[in-house]
A and B are shown apart, each in its own frame.
Chain A
Amino acid sequence: MGWTREQAKQLADQILSYSRARDCDVRLDLVQRTHTRFAANEVTTSGAMVDLNISVSSRDGKRTGTLQVNETSREALKKAVARSEELMHSAAPDAEYMEDLGPQQYPEVHAFNEETASATALDRRAGIQQAMEISRARKLKCSAFVQTTSRWSAIANKRKNFGFFASTQATFTSTARTQDATGSGWAGGASPRLLDISTQSIVERAAKKAESSANPRALDPGKYTVVLEPQAVADLMPNLLFSFSRRIADQGKSFLSKPGGGNRLGEKLFPDFVTIRSDPFNAQWPARPWAGGGGAGMGGARGGFLGFGGFGGAAFEGLPVRKVTWIDRGVVNGLSVDRYWATRVKVEPLPFSGTLTMEGGSGKIEDLIAGTERGLLITHFWYIRPVNPQNVELTGLTRDGVWLIEKGKIAYPVNNFRFNQSPVNMLKNIEAMSEPVVTALKDFSSSPMVVPAIRAKDFLFSSKSDAV
């Protein structure tokens, strides 16, 4: 199972050899996933899947046609290339067409763990069994999910560019609920190495949160000082980072736009202690060494179907990634720039890629709680959606544990809330931060990040939620 660099290159070269177009881009992804799901104190679904995505884009200097397939016979590959060329001929000229890149130097990123790639159902069962035993012993109703993903990716084109990247990812999350359904707790972890995830600790954290959040007292909505656990911070970040686009800022559609035109690059908008980077080399969650594309995607193959509203397939395609500081000690230090926009504003393209990291303080979350006169401790957020893209106002809800803090101590659990809050203002309102830690991989929201817990004032909760 899996590819070596040479095997991936051989397949890419075979596909490119069938091309008659001026340019041809190939993206390959061989993906092996395994999972076990446990819910309501029962193992539910479990599986092992192997999937292949071959994406072929034919290009003629004005037009691009892209085809995604997964059959590998010689005939199927030849047909795929021919069909991508037909698509190219049918497509209209692209006013933002960018020529293919020549050979690139991709940095070495070590992200593959053999033990994770070869984990069996019995290996995955260990964490699930811990969840089951703890939940039964403590009379809780428990759910857990463990997944491993092994991925072998390659990028290649007719201009002799080639990149190869092998990675593994493991994730474990658990939710415990009290039998009377008045308390709920969640915890999770992620790593390139399955064995580095402490499933016992995650299950116990979820169980403790469920027990200590039971029978919450009613508390009115309003503005509160909040202590956000690292996962809650991570949940709010993707929408914030979407605004860090030079194109969107220049078009006047971001909080980083100036009224009437221009952007706020170089302006100090946040406190001195706010520094946010993306780092593809972060050892806790390393990332692919090139930007854009990736084989999977373009919409449509799976159950739902969406239009593709991005900047076009070649926006960042194949650019080597690097560590970038987006906010440097409160100053807006970088905006991502796609290849076309870079030509128009005469700067180098700058992809956003890699794991988001945020500098923190030196203490623990307990220190943040101890320094809070009155506030709310939040586990994580759910169903976050943009309300106003201009100021990044978001709405969403707290989930799986909210507690009132009084005079530096957790007083009692309270109900969940809906929030209406911009993470821009949240960053401006930070009072203190803990040491950063790696967060979990949540299926519908954030990727793992390395962020601190934070204490921020004036976080707006607009209504109460009865959900537990």
Chain B
Amino acid sequence: MALDRAKKAGASYADIRINRYRAQVVNLRSEPDFATGKVNHVPTASDSEIFGFGVRVIADGAWGFAASYSVTEDEIARAVKDAVEIAKANAPLRSSPLELAPVVAVHDTYRTPIAKDPFSVPITDKLALLRNVADDAMKVSGVFSVTGFIAQRVEHRFFASSDGSQIEQHVYQISPEFTATAVEKGKKQKSRTYRPHAVTAGYEAVERAKMPSHARRVGEEVVNHLKAPPVTPGKKDLVLLPTHLGLTIHESIGHSTELDRALGYEANVAGTSFLTPDKLGKFQVGSEIVNFKGDRIRKESLSTCGYDDDGVKTRQFPIIQKGIFVGYQTIRDQAHLIGQKESMGCCYADSYDSVPFQRMPNVWLEPSSKPTTLADLISGVDDGVLIDGRGSYSIDHQRYNFQFGGDAFWEIKGGKVGPMIADVAYQSRTPDFWSACDAIGGEALWENIGLNADGKGEPGQINAMSHGCAPSRFRQITVLRTA
């Protein structure tokens, strides 16, 4: 009905997404009472179920979009009319009409493979798990507080387009984690997080994470971190574990290879990219051992699904090969702008009432073809730092200059890992950093690192994706002392 009405109103293309989103966050904060010192446990249990539709049209060569929470025939008719009117109002401002890369029309369904529906697991069980974690971590002397959560969501998406596609998808995502904090009152504080991989999967991901078995270690490490001496700043070799490197990949390679940034579509907010189209196929971003893939099909990765929000079947594609920039993340209305004939399937809208646009897929670093171990990486370092987990992170709006902290740091001296150190951050420039990568761990060490919430666009939207990698070594990077 919507697509017919859009055509009749003058749209050359139309699609409708009718989506239902269910999400649940179970949270527990445990900290000492101000007056008595007794540990207070503060749980939060919240559930959401949101339903609505969004209609997107091209009329007179411009996009128009309208959406509503009220999924009725009348409201859909009103939204179609609005979307076409918006497109026609903006059409005079376009210098040339929009072009869409071709797509194969399909009638298909996709469902994330899950073993255990996370919404079938009682909240009491989830809170009990978080309580066990908090109790064990807080048994470690010096732990001040513990927070933990289990967040889960399912998107039930229906997509139909005037190209003839009808696609239904159920995509499950789940993310557990907990953080312990230690405080030297009025002087300093440190936190340590256990963040099992956020994945597209069911509750089995929480069970295999074995959070309670990490509680004491996390508690001990945060106390050690609080007592650890500061780093001596200077040029050092870094060995970065996957739990840390995933975010560096995201910011430096993931965002710089988005075509909409490179074309200037994000110039007003998220920024542009140093990887401009003239560099495609030529520019050396990293050393010859550096290979990245864009991907929306890898099992359990957060961006994995059957079809994107353009109705394009998802796929895997090269981004960096032997250190050279070879591929952008693209969608249907942009591929032709760099002379390409097909979309890489990277279109996504974070809600029924959000406009679909180019979002980052899973972007992952290929492991070494050799069975390189973590010990191999460390043994080659005379003066360096081993970094685990995420800390402070910041990168410029063209994805050159970045600064990253971490969650835990150990000194490396003479090829051996020493005691914990503190107050570490490193700064580099994306091509310099990846050119300094001289060793990557083997496939056995590869981990799939999920990032829960990446912001982009106007109005702002959120996206989740994974950045798999193995531990990797970077030579002579500038290390700062942050306190």
A–B pairs, 5, beta carbons within 8 Å: A50-B67, A90-B45, A91-B127, A307-B148, A465-B396
The reply to whether B69 and A385 contact each other, CB–CB distance below 8 Å, is: no
For residue B205, CB closer than 8 A to chain A, the reply is no
The reply to whether A382 and B271 contact each other, CB–CB distance below 8 Å, is: yes
In the bound complex, residues from chain A placing their C-beta under 8 Å from that of B429 are 466
Q: Which of A129, A301, A311 has the most CB of B within 10 A?
A: A301
The reply to whether A466 and B392 contact each other, CB–CB distance below 8 Å, is: no
User: Quick one: which of B349, B350, B355 contacts A304, CB cutoff 8 A?
Assistant: B350
In the bound complex, residues from chain B placing their C-beta under 8 Å from that of A147 are 458-459
Nearest CB of chain A from residue B133's CB, rounded to whole Å: 13
In the bound complex, residues from chain A placing their C-beta under 8 Å from that of B285 are none
Docked CA distance A174–B458 (Å): 12
The reply to whether A68 and B271 contact each other, CB–CB distance below 8 Å, is: no
For residue B348, CB closer than 8 A to chain A, the reply is yes
Which of the 9-residue segments A3-11, A251-259, A319-327 touches chain B?
A251-259
Docked CA distance A71–B53 (Å): 12
For residue B480, CB closer than 8 A to chain A, the reply is yes
| CB contact list, A406-459 vs B, under 8 A | 416, 418, 420, 442-444
In the bound complex, residues from chain B placing their C-beta under 8 Å from that of A94 are 41-43
For residue A284, CB closer than 8 A to chain B, the reply is no
The reply to whether B462 and A303 contact each other, CB–CB distance below 8 Å, is: yes
Which of the 9-residue segments A103-111, A272-280, A387-395 touches chain B?
A387-395
In the bound complex, residues from chain A placing their C-beta under 8 Å from that of B43 are 91-94
Docked CA distance A382–B65 (Å): 29
With A90-B45, A383-B396, A384-B394 as known contacts, state yes or no: A306 contacts B40, CB within 8 Å: no
Residue of A nearest to B79 (CB): A48
The reply to whether A42 and B95 contact each other, CB–CB distance below 8 Å, is: yes
For residue A271, CB closer than 8 A to chain B, the reply is no
The reply to whether B144 and A462 contact each other, CB–CB distance below 8 Å, is: no
In the bound complex, residues from chain A placing their C-beta under 8 Å from that of B351 are 301-303
A-B pairs with lowest CB-CB distance, top 8: A252-B185, A300-B23, A303-B350, A307-B149, A304-B453, A47-B65, A95-B40, A304-B462
The reply to whether B93 and A174 contact each other, CB–CB distance below 8 Å, is: no
Docked CA distance A22–B473 (Å): 58
In the bound complex, residues from chain B placing their C-beta under 8 Å from that of A462 are 403, 427, 480
The reply to whether B48 and A301 contact each other, CB–CB distance below 8 Å, is: yes
User: Quick one: which of B153, B400, B459 contacts A465, CB cutoff 8 A?
Assistant: B400
User: Quick one: which of A141, A252, A305, A444 contacts B269, CB cutoff 8 A?
Assistant: A444
For residue B246, CB closer than 8 A to chain A, the reply is no
The reply to whether A467 and B271 contact each other, CB–CB distance below 8 Å, is: yes
With A39-B264, A144-B268, A467-B398 as known contacts, state yes or no: A70 contacts B93, CB within 8 Å: no
In the bound complex, residues from chain A placing their C-beta under 8 Å from that of B354 are 49, 302-303
User: Quick one: which of B66, B153, B403 contacts A300, CB cutoff 8 A?
Assistant: B153
Residue of A nearest to B89 (CB): A121
In the bound complex, residues from chain B placing their C-beta under 8 Å from that of A66 are 44-47
In the bound complex, residues from chain A placing their C-beta under 8 Å from that of B45 are 64-66, 87-88, 90-91
With A67-B47, A91-B127, A467-B400 as known contacts, state yes or no: A305 contacts B86, CB within 8 Å: no
The reply to whether B46 and A68 contact each other, CB–CB distance below 8 Å, is: yes
The reply to whether A418 and B48 contact each other, CB–CB distance below 8 Å, is: no
Q: Which of A71, A251, A305, A383 has the most CB of B within 10 A?
A: A305
Residue of B nearest to A396 (CB): B394
Which of the 9-residue segments B26-34, B161-169, B206-214, B312-320 touches chain A?
B26-34
The reply to whether B269 and A443 contact each other, CB–CB distance below 8 Å, is: yes
Which of the 9-residue segments B10-18, B186-194, B235-243, B290-298 touches chain A?
B186-194
Docked CA distance A466–B398 (Å): 8
In the bound complex, residues from chain B placing their C-beta under 8 Å from that of A384 are 394
The reply to whether A45 and B65 contact each other, CB–CB distance below 8 Å, is: yes
Which of the 9-residue segments A29-37, A158-166, A349-357 touches chain B?
A29-37
In the bound complex, residues from chain A placing their C-beta under 8 Å from that of B462 are 302-304
The reply to whether B187 and A305 contact each other, CB–CB distance below 8 Å, is: no
Apart from the given pairs A91-B123, A305-B152, A418-B401, 16 other A-B contacts in the complex at a CB distance below 8 Å:
A39-B264, A39-B266, A43-B62, A46-B63, A52-B70, A67-B46, A145-B458, A147-B459, A177-B272, A301-B48, A304-B452, A305-B25, A382-B396, A443-B269, A443-B458, A462-B403
Chain B: interface residue total (CB-CB under 8 A): 119
The reply to whether B64 and A307 contact each other, CB–CB distance below 8 Å, is: no
The reply to whether B271 and A129 contact each other, CB–CB distance below 8 Å, is: no
Docked CA distance A420–B427 (Å): 11
The reply to whether A299 and B89 contact each other, CB–CB distance below 8 Å, is: no
With A69-B48, A301-B48 as known contacts, state yes or no: A46 contacts B90, CB within 8 Å: yes
The reply to whether A307 and B25 contact each other, CB–CB distance below 8 Å, is: yes
With A259-B185, A302-B351, A467-B397 as known contacts, state yes or no: A70 contacts B151, CB within 8 Å: no
With A66-B46, A312-B44 as known contacts, state yes or no: A252 contacts B186, CB within 8 Å: yes
For residue B405, CB closer than 8 A to chain A, the reply is yes
For residue A244, CB closer than 8 A to chain B, the reply is no
In the bound complex, residues from chain A placing their C-beta under 8 Å from that of B453 are 303-306
The reply to whether A252 and B189 contact each other, CB–CB distance below 8 Å, is: yes
Measured as residues with beta carbon below 8 angstroms from the partner, the interface class of chain A is 35 or more
For residue A51, CB closer than 8 A to chain B, the reply is yes
The reply to whether A47 and B400 contact each other, CB–CB distance below 8 Å, is: no
Residue of A nearest to B428 (CB): A463
The reply to whether B89 and A303 contact each other, CB–CB distance below 8 Å, is: no
The reply to whether B89 and A120 contact each other, CB–CB distance below 8 Å, is: yes
In the bound complex, residues from chain B placing their C-beta under 8 Å from that of A92 are 28, 41, 43, 124, 127, 131
For residue A112, CB closer than 8 A to chain B, the reply is no
In the bound complex, residues from chain B placing their C-beta under 8 Å from that of A464 are 401
For residue A40, CB closer than 8 A to chain B, the reply is yes
The reply to whether A305 and B151 contact each other, CB–CB distance below 8 Å, is: yes
The reply to whether A418 and B427 contact each other, CB–CB distance below 8 Å, is: yes
The reply to whether B400 and A305 contact each other, CB–CB distance below 8 Å, is: no
Residue of B nearest to A66 (CB): B46
Nearest CB of chain A from residue B306's CB, rounded to whole Å: 17
The reply to whether A47 and B86 contact each other, CB–CB distance below 8 Å, is: yes
In the bound complex, residues from chain A placing their C-beta under 8 Å from that of B94 are 42-43
For residue B344, CB closer than 8 A to chain A, the reply is no
User: Quick one: which of B29, B405, B460 contacts A387, CB cutoff 8 A?
Assistant: B405
Nearest CB of chain A from residue B456's CB, rounded to whole Å: 9
Residue of B nearest to A251 (CB): B183
Docked CA distance A306–B44 (Å): 13
The reply to whether B186 and A383 contact each other, CB–CB distance below 8 Å, is: no
With A302-B351, A383-B394 as known contacts, state yes or no: A38 contacts B93, CB within 8 Å: yes
Nearest CB of chain A from residue B102's CB, rounded to whole Å: 21
Nearest CB of chain B from residue A133's CB, rounded to whole Å: 10
In the bound complex, residues from chain B placing their C-beta under 8 Å from that of A50 are 67-70, 353
User: Quick one: which of A42, A67, A174, A305 contacts B175, CB cutoff 8 A?
Assistant: A305
For residue B24, CB closer than 8 A to chain A, the reply is yes
Residue of B nearest to A123 (CB): B89
Docked CA distance A434–B392 (Å): 32
User: Quick one: which of A88, A96, A175, A259 contacts B267, CB cutoff 8 A?
Assistant: A175
The reply to whether B452 and A306 contact each other, CB–CB distance below 8 Å, is: yes
For residue A78, CB closer than 8 A to chain B, the reply is no
The reply to whether B149 and A308 contact each other, CB–CB distance below 8 Å, is: yes
The reply to whether A444 and B122 contact each other, CB–CB distance below 8 Å, is: no
The reply to whether A251 and B144 contact each other, CB–CB distance below 8 Å, is: yes
The reply to whether A387 and B49 contact each other, CB–CB distance below 8 Å, is: no
In the bound complex, residues from chain B placing their C-beta under 8 Å from that of A191 are none
Docked CA distance A387–B188 (Å): 12
User: Quick one: which of A36, A301, A304, A390 contacts B187, CB cutoff 8 A?
Assistant: A390
User: Quick one: which of B395, B427, B483 contacts A388, CB cutoff 8 A?
Assistant: B483
For residue A24, CB closer than 8 A to chain B, the reply is no
Nearest CB of chain B from residue A102's CB, rounded to whole Å: 23
Residue of B nearest to A382 (CB): B397
Nearest CB of chain A from residue B436's CB, rounded to whole Å: 16
Nearest CB of chain B from residue A268's CB, rounded to whole Å: 18
For residue B414, CB closer than 8 A to chain A, the reply is no
Docked CA distance A125–B397 (Å): 27
For residue B147, CB closer than 8 A to chain A, the reply is yes
Q: Which of B44, B62, B149, B464 has the most CB of A within 10 A?
A: B44
| CB contact list, A279-335 vs B, under 8 A | 298-309, 311-313
In the bound complex, residues from chain B placing their C-beta under 8 Å from that of A370 are none
In the bound complex, residues from chain B placing their C-beta under 8 Å from that of A45 are 63, 65, 355, 357
